[in-house]
Amino acid sequence: MHLLAKIIPLDVNSENLLGVKIYSRMLKLKQLLSKISANNKLKWPVVNGNYQVVNQKSQIAVCTLTSEGLRDTIINWDEVAITGSLYTPNLGIESIILNTISNPNIRYLVLCGKDSPIFLAGQALRSLFDYGISPDKRILNAKGHYPVLFNLTIEKIQHFLNQIVLIDYREELNTDLVYKNIQILKKKSPYNPYLNDIASKIAIADEVVFKVLKPIGKKIPLAYDEKGFFVIEINHNRNEIKVKHYYSNNEPGFIIKSHSADALLRTILENNLISQMSHAAYMGAELTKAKIALKNNLQYLQDQPLKTTNQKVNG
């Protein structure tokens, strides 16, 4: 304010209204910037995902792997900072790393619940701590599909390994036992000032860069498929979706019946009955619609909106 008084002269009434107005606006701007800064500091977790924050100041994170039901109990534990699931040994682990290193309070990561028998994300996370990564950021000795931390820098991965102690209770579904061990961890304080210092210097939330594609507004008509076409029907009494395949000359080909839209589409694709991506997308959408109709007792007619069973369908 003193500087403004020197720069802006007094008016005829020996007052400095202009200086006061400028100073007032500067204060408001300062307050606004402070709020923005505070909000940015509170923005945690930095990556969206299948998890729930409990106590941001806690030093323990819990990963329930594929056992999402465990979270219903764990979210009531104030000793836990965050709890969530993990299915994939790449994007899933990347999200855990980013959310962990962006909160310097977290020191322990507890693994519990059932690991995915296909992707083995828990095994990959264990291997990350035991064996590290290759120069191309592949987790050494991980057995799941594509265990590569492609979107992270080596610096962030190493920061995660320095910050976190992994507590491996994979396949453990007894929440009482998990809670007892969390109580033990709570009493420990593996404080590391180095980690707190570098956490503020690393750009934590890396933006994964995607190329933007504009959605196509108009429906693209299906081109002629040399493999033929399909007629879809549902039978509520049998809880069944029926797909009839016809060759391009209208001769009958195959018939497939199932209550599962996924199984029907896989059967169609694995038997090479479709030659065009647009046709496959169409069948996926129609089979999903048929599944919804079957589940909710709705009337299904191919290529038309779903109707309740007491409504008439135009045409």
Q: What are phi and psi of 224, to 5 degrees?
A: -65, 125
pLDDT (tens digit per residue) in 266-313 = 999 999 999 888 889 889 999 999 999 999 999 999 888 887 765 544
CA distance 107 to 105: 6
What is the model's pLDDT at position 188? 76
What is the model's pLDDT at position 130? 95
CA distance 108 to 110: 6
What is the model's pLDDT at position 254? 95
CA distance 279 to 247: 14
Angle between helices 121-131 and 154-163 (to 10 degrees): 90
Per the CB < 8 A criterion, the answer to whether 150 and 90 are in contact is yes
In the three-class reduction of DSSP (H, G, I as helix; E, B as strand; rest coil), residue 196 is classed as: helix
Angle CA 248–252–257, to nearest 5: 115
What is the model's pLDDT at position 59? 93
Residues in the chain, pLDDT under 50:
1-5, 8, 12, 14-15, 35-41, 193-207, 312-315
What is the model's pLDDT at position 218? 58
pTM beyond cutoff 0.75: no
What is the model's pLDDT at position 307? 79
Among the listed residues 73, 90, 272, the one whose alpha carbon sits nearest the alpha carbon of residue 176: 73
CA distance 231 to 302: 8
Torsion of CA 94, 100, 103, 106, to 10 degrees: 180
